[in-house]
Structure 1
Amino acid sequence: MTGGNETQDDALLDAVGAAFARLRRRTALVDVDPPVTRKDLTRNQVINIVDEADGEMTVGGIAHQLTVDSSVASRMVSDCIAAGLLVRAASQRDGRRTVLHLTPAGAALRDRFGSQHRQAFEHITRDWPRAKRLEFARMLIDYADAAAELGTPTAR
């Protein structure tokens, strides 16, 4: 912990939830080029889930990872398909299942989102010393990697 007393440590850890909520709300307000739309935020979630899947990803898998109903996930996926970002294909493991793959346009949009996230990160941490910025980036990636290992299935 911080090396302080337990009350201070507990208060610090209790503040994490509110910090995550502020982070989610405020990061989207940072001006990036090109600007991020609400539809971009949804597409970014779907594209990243498909891209990061360890194996095949289905609409059911997207619904599970986003904790939404299958009908909601289906609409999100259909939007990405209509925009040319994803394609449906037969599973190589089970031809009765339909899986999702990024198209070249989907990969390009994923990369654009990555650039926008970096712009926001650099803007928000612009007054931080370089060492602090890089250490936070390492720790944030470690945290995200640990969260990804919480047993989330690759497909449903």
Structure 2
Amino acid sequence: MTTNEPQTAEDLLNAVGPAFSKLRRTSLLEVANPISAKDLSRTLVLNIVQEHTRDSEAEITVGAVAELLGVDPSVASRMVSDSIKAGYLIRAASQQDGRRTVLSLSPEGAELMSRLRRHQREAFDYITADWAEEDRLAFARLMLKYVDSLARLRDRSPAADDAKRP
């Protein structure tokens, strides 16, 4: 164990937060399929649009992007406008309610997201190249489990718990 590694369970758990803050930096690694820092920021919005429109007929609005990113609607609006100007998003009238404006990925946006996924995989392979295969797979499984738990947080929120009480 190196001196930088946590010594106790409490130290280990306290180190998780700072470690998460460093994860986004993996996208800036100089591996194949580089993504510019500006496009990397755009992928925050593109990922939400892709995730929420991929397997359903769900429509996503600027307001939903703001809520899902946890930012002010004006910030989300600027982020969406930037992605539209860059050619990655398309704004259109809702098919369910013509008064609403919804977002979808353009073909260029879909290609950027494909490049990002390839880049992320290459970064993971590069970072974990000297890990045992079982450690790489265990980390991947646990990361996916963590993200799945994050997606279910709304079901476990205090407001949801209050709604379930008689």
Range into which the TM-score falls when normalised by the shorter chain: 0.7 to 0.9
Q: Provide the rounded CA distance (Å) in 1 between the counterparts of 2:14 and 2:154.
A: 25
Name the counterpart of 1:127. 130
User: 1:133: Cα distance to partner?
Assistant: 0.6
Alignment TM-score, normalising by the size of structure 1: 0.84
Name the counterpart of 2:65. 62
Quick one: higher RCO (CA 8 Å, sep 6+), 1 or 2?
1
User: 1:129: Cα distance to partner?
Assistant: 0.9
Name the counterpart of 2:50. 51
Q: Provide the rounded CA distance (Å) in 2 between the counterparts of 1:78 and 1:23.
A: 26
Deviates more, 1:41-50 or 1:59-68: 59-68
Alignment TM-score, normalising by the size of structure 2: 0.79
Name the counterpart of 1:111. 114
Q: Provide the rounded CA distance (Å) in 1 between the counterparts of 2:72 and 2:64.
A: 11
Contact 2:62 2:76 in 1 (8 A): yes
- Runs of 4+ displaced beyond 4 Å: none
User: 1:28: Cα distance to partner?
Assistant: 3.6
Name the counterpart of 1:87. 90
Q: Provide the rounded CA distance (Å) in 1 between the counterparts of 2:36 and 2:87.
A: 17
Q: Mind listing any 5+ residue stretches in structure 1 that lack a counterpart?
A: 1-6
Q: 1:136 aligns with which of 105, 124, 139?
A: 139
Q: How many residues align?
A: 145
Q: Provide the rounded CA distance (Å) in 2 between the counterparts of 1:28 and 1:114.
A: 10
- After superposition, the C-alpha distances for 1:70-90 in whole angstroms (9 at most, x for unaligned) are 222111111211222111122
Larger Rg: 2
Q: Mind listing any 5+ residue stretches in structure 2 that lack a counterpart?
A: 1-6, 156-166
User: 1:131: Cα distance to partner?
Assistant: 1.5
